[in-house]
Amino acid sequence: MKTTTNCHHCNGRDFLGVECAWPAPDCLGDTRRRDAARRRTQLLRAALVLALAAALWQFGQAGYIHAKAWLAQHLIAQAWAQTRAGGAPARPWPWADTWPVARLSAPAQGVEVYVLAGADGATLAFGPGHMYGTAEPGDFGNSVLGAHRDTHFAFLQWLEDGSELELETAHGEVLRYFVTHREVLDHRDTRPLAQPDSGRQLTLVTCWPFDAVRAGGPLRYVVTAQARI
Amino acid sequence: MNTHLPGSARRWHDLLEIAALAARIFLGGLLVAFALAVLTLLFAAPSYAGEGDTGQGTLIIRLPDGNGVALPALDTEVAIRVNGPLARTRVVQTFHNASDGWQEGEYLFPLPENAAVDRLRMVIGEHVVEGEIRERAAARAEFEQARASGRRTALVEQQRPNLFTTRVANIAPGARISVEIEYQQTLEWRMNEDGGHYGLRFPMVAAPRYIPLPTTAEEIADAQRITAPVRHPAAGPAINPVRMRVELDAGMPLSALRSPSHALRVDAPHANRRVVEFADGAAPAERDFVLEWTLAAGQAPRVALFAERGQDVDHALLMLMPPRLPSDGRPLAREVVFVIDTSGSMAGASIAQARAALALALRRLRPEDRFNVIEFNSITRALFDAARPASTDNVEHAARWVRKLEATGGTEMAPALAAALGGAADPERVRQVIFLTDGAVGNEETLFRLIEQRLGDARLFPVGIGSAPNGHFMRKAAAAGRGSFTYIGRLDEVQERMSALFERLEAPMLKDIELAWPDGAQADYWPRKVPDLYAGEPLVVAVALRQASGTLKVGGRGPQAAWSTEVDLGRAAPGSGLGTLWARHKIDALLDLLRSGTPEDEVRPQIVELALAHRLVSRYTSLVAVDKTPVRPADAPLQGGQLPLNLPAGWQYEKVFGQLPTGATGARMHLLGGTLTLALGALLFALTRRRNAFA
């Protein structure tokens, strides 16, 4: 059987043209079937190229998001060093509409991130954002920080009650906070934004659940930490 | 590839190839992504943020005190008596305790920014307790003591010239306590070709205010005082119904009367008089009540003079409308800077009004004008680096930019004001700053000081936007900016109001106004320095003098010629409450001194003395009413707290108070998408191979 198929396979690489006792009809005059076959092959090839390009684009996007998040933090680190040295807030790149306002670290998780001013989508791509309208990080009152659960705030899922957080302010003050409360809330619930009457509080907000594939769900994971000096 | 390989080996080979391809694609993608990120980010060294645009502040969110703690219910009744350009208003706030425990309540409410509050009465059924004027701390102590000892008590404090709090304690189970407040005010009066226009504005809800950078304990305490919990609109229908009755006596035949804010039921017992009520009986406290009326053409007086005889001194109030000045025909060379507030409080109806007003204003520019547009919320952004000529291209570009403006974020007004007033001013041009905002900020004093310091030759024209603008901010910012203010409460008012504003901007002004009082009058008049008057604006002066007689000479200077007139003080109409109005004007002027650097120790005793003499609620004095006998048993607990407010009509809760930040990227979705398309690619690859091998 094998020889029969092979000797009639005139498009194959091993076909010499005369292997069979009779020529295959495909290899003689009936070009209609051959052209159709070729067209199908070409179509498949085009679809393959398209699929690969789409895959490339998708992976590129994902890579871009992560690369941006990672790289921006390095630039912000430089801006932070300048801010700390010069006093005036430095922008990490000239056209940035944000600047670092604090450095947040979780020693047990080995995480160090620079917090930016403003918690809108454009800012959160580069780092955790401090929500306008809440107390300045390190100040008395409640400072609310938001970041993405799959980049800068992925470590929130490992925090437990009593976990330590360290915050360095632009004045060089280093404050130690301890997690007191964790909860899951709807994004419209503004209770985590309320200002306490006394004390320094840090509220870290990210999306929940952590392992969801889709972004933009309605739930938020809220970690509250109190300063202890 | 070798087709002679056995089937299983070939499959392995294919799989390997697919895996290698996938890895290559993934690495390539990462590389491209990395290169992209490098390109977009890694261009230059960090640069410094502009001075002043790092400010961040607070919109204090106060939740209803305690969970499930019953609060008294509130309804309000307002009776306004209008007599010419004067009004006396009685506001009755009734606190109703529907629970079976003892209650107390605190209510934050606005009044007109020029209201002189001089009376408080606490009414419990038939029993009336008259309020006393005290220094603020003393009044508070008296209230706290009465509250603790179980006596019924009420306290009215001023937090801002247009923002007050009422506190009521020891409301018996099932009982009501009414707090009656009375105030005196002068009305808005403007004149144009078709006659005199009067406006009455009764604010009904204290809009949430943005408070930048409260740092000191005093600032934080102040922020708490001007903040109340705000109900989410989804939590049910609006609370605090207000019933309104306006008895209007214009003294002249009225030609028109309307309210852009509420549906009215109007009675006309006489050509000069109207009685106005809400058509629906009561309206929720969620937007300002605005009433406007026009006097019949040709009938409108140019002078309104009222006098009140006193024992030692007489008090008088003069409102004088200068004639329309002839223009010198030369259009003013000017630079117009538009500043638009795009903070969260402007979201919804307000930003639509502001955008429409700005679009209209841009069309009114002349080609020889220069202009710029600045928007601000948490950060300040200017359309152009510096003012540009109002060419068709530039104006079109600006109009497109304005159409795209969205409202979100905080209200950091200071950097925007500094940007609008600062910069290299062209000495050949008049700089006019048109400032569109709802004024929902808590740091008014700082901003007024900034305006005064940076104004130079510029002029500031605040345009109050929305259903509950901060009237105190509009009036004082205009005064500090030596301009004039306008309100836009609805989209269909934009055209009329902006046209009126532009007419005022383009018409010549009356400057260097001076008053010469009759000899021996010993006139103590306020404002001491009369501001420049824009076309159609009256001169308003309150005076205390030995005797209201003789002739007052008023003079000023227009672009073409001098203007002067004489007023016979003896022909004043009798008025009441003028002493209160005079004291209110004087307190205002004293507070202005405070802003220009006079130490508080000098100003405060003068204000306290004046306010105590005229029973006026002020920054340093409050009214307190205390019942004689204790009613609450010593062992019965007192429940309650601050009453929640409605969100002003047209506002969007989430834009004002924010929502929790979004915390996930699309990376995972992309990875999933990439994997799926890669799998599809692998399938197609296998198919093409199979075709090649077996076709």
The CA-CA-CA angle for residues B153, B154, B157, to 5°, reads 145
pLDDT band at B216 (very low <50, low <70, confident <90, very high): low
Cβ separation A5–B694 shorter than 8 A: yes
The answer to whether residue A103 sits within a structural domain is: yes
| % chain A with pLDDT above 70 | 85
Q: How large is the greatest C-alpha to C-alpha distance in chain B, in angstroms?
A: 125
d(CA A28, CA A10): 10
The answer to whether residue A158 sits within a structural domain is: yes
The answer to whether residue A42 sits within a structural domain is: no
pLDDT for the residue numbered A6: 54
> Is the Cα torsion angle B427, B432, B437, B440 positive or negative in sign?
positive
The answer to whether residue A44 sits within a structural domain is: no
pLDDT band at B507 (very low <50, low <70, confident <90, very high): confident
d(CA B40, CA B34): 10
What range does the domain containing A177 cover? 90-227
The answer to whether residue A43 sits within a structural domain is: no
Angle between helix axes B667-694 and B7-41 (nearest 10 degrees) is 140
Structure tokens at B70: 């019953």
Nearest CA in chain B to A188: B659
pLDDT at B1 over 90: no
Domains of chain B from N-terminus onward: 8-38+664-694 (no CATH), 60-297+616-642 (2.60.40), 303-322+510-613 (2.60.40), 334-506 (3.40.50.410)
Q: From the candidates B67, B412, B665, which should be mutated to test the interface with A, based on the most A CB atoms within 10 A?
A: B665
d(CA B409, CA B623): 37
Q: Which residue has the tokens 């306490």?
A: A196
Q: Per-residue pLDDT tens for A120-153?
A: 777 888 999 988 767 788 888 888 999 999 899 9
pLDDT for the residue numbered B62: 54
pLDDT for the residue numbered B181: 97
Residues 166-205 in A contacting B (C-alpha not used; CB under 8 Å): 185, 187-195, 205
Q: Among B479-488, B572-581, B636-645, whose mean pLDDT is lowest? A: B636-645
From chain A, pick out residues whose CB is under 8 angstroms from the CB of B58: 133-135, 141, 195
d(CA B585, CA B113): 12
pLDDT for the residue numbered B422: 83
Q: Which residue has the tokens 């022909």?
A: B571
Mean pLDDT, range B171-181, rounded to an integer: 95
Structure tokens at B534: 């824009």
Give yes or no for a contact between B170 and B632, defined as CB atoms under 8 angstroms apart: yes
Name the nearest CA neighbour of B588 among B303, B288, B186, B225: B186
pLDDT at B66 over 50: no
Higher pLDDT, B639 or B139: B139
The answer to whether residue A9 sits within a structural domain is: no
What's the gap in Å between the CA of A58 and the closest CA on chain B? 5
What is the pTM for the complete model shown?
0.76
Q: With an 8 Å Cβ cutoff, is A206 touching chain B?
A: yes
Structure tokens at B324: 């329309």
**B349: phi > 0 → left, psi -120 to 50 → alpha, else beta; which?**
alpha
ipTM of the complex: 0.78
Cβ separation A65–B666 shorter than 8 A: yes
Q: From the candidates B48, B59, B63, B660, which should be mutated to test the interface with A, based on the most A CB atoms within 10 A?
A: B660
Give yes or no for a contact between A160 and A101, defined as CB atoms under 8 angstroms apart: no
d(CA B346, CA B469): 10
pLDDT for the residue numbered B196: 81
Return the number of other C-beta atoms located less than 10 Å from residue B641's C-beta.
18
From chain B, pick out residues whose CB is under 8 angstroms from the CB of A208: 663
Higher pLDDT, B324 or B103: B103
What's the gap in Å between the CA of A125 and the closest CA on chain B? 8
Angle between helix axes B494-506 and B349-364 (nearest 10 degrees) is 40
Q: What separation in angstroms does the CA of A41 have from each of A27, A46, B640? A: 17, 9, 80
pLDDT for the residue numbered B48: 42
From chain B, pick out residues whose CB is under 8 angstroms from the CB of A100: none
From chain B, pick out residues whose CB is under 8 angstroms from the CB of A79: 46
Residues 75-114 in A contacting B (C-alpha not used; CB under 8 Å): 75, 78-79, 82, 86, 88-94, 97, 99
What's the gap in Å between the CA of B348 and the closest CA on chain A? 17
Give yes or no for a contact between B179 and B154, defined as CB atoms under 8 angstroms apart: yes
d(CA A15, CA A25): 14
Structure tokens at B113: 């920014």
Backbone φ and ψ of A3, nearest 5°: -60, -40
pLDDT at B58 over 70: no
pLDDT at A1 over 80: no
Residue-level length of chain B:
695
For residue A150, the domain's CATH number is 2.40.260.10
pLDDT for the residue numbered B562: 87
Return the number of other C-beta atoms located less than 10 Å from residue B537's C-beta.
19
Residues 6+ apart with CB under 8 A from B191: B197, B300, B321, B536, B537, B538
Query: What DSSP element (H or E) covers B198?
Result: strand B195-202
Query: What DSSP element (H or E) covers B500?
Result: helix B494-506
From chain A, pick out residues whose CB is under 8 angstroms from the CB of B671: 58-59, 62
Mean pLDDT of chain A: 83
Q: From the candidates A3, A61, A148, which should be mutated to test the interface with B, based on the most B CB atoms within 10 A?
A: A61
Pairing of strands B459-465, B430-437: parallel
Give yes or no for a contact between A52 and A44, defined as CB atoms under 8 angstroms apart: no
From chain B, pick out residues whose CB is under 8 angstroms from the CB of A102: none
Q: What separation in angstroms does the CA of A193 have from each of B63, B549, B654? A: 10, 61, 12
Mean pLDDT, range A172-195, rounded to an integer: 85
Which one-letter DSSP state was computed for residue B536?
T
Q: Which residue has the tokens 């007192």?
A: B638
Structure tokens at B34: 């990395």
CA atoms within 13 A on the CB side of B570: 4
Highest mean pLDDT among A118-127, B220-229, B431-440, B522-531: B431-440
Give yes or no for a contact between B578 and B542, defined as CB atoms under 8 angstroms apart: yes
Cβ separation A91–B654 shorter than 8 A: no
Cβ separation B210–A133 shorter than 8 A: yes
Residues 27-66 in B contacting A (C-alpha not used; CB under 8 Å): 28-30, 32-34, 36-38, 40-49, 51, 54, 56-63
Q: Which residue has the tokens 């209230």?
A: B143
Q: With an 8 Å Cβ cutoff, is B669 touching chain A?
A: yes
| % chain B with pLDDT above 90 | 54
pLDDT band at B51 (very low <50, low <70, confident <90, very high): very low
Please tell me which of the candidates A61, A135, A213 has its beta carbon nearest to residue B58.
Answer: A135
Q: With an 8 Å Cβ cutoff, is A66 touching chain B?
A: yes
Cβ separation B29–A56 shorter than 8 A: yes
Structure tokens at B332: 């003013």
Which one-letter DSSP state was computed for residue B677?
H
Q: Is the peptide bond before B527 cis (omega within 30 degrees of 0)?
A: yes
Structural domain count of chain A: 1
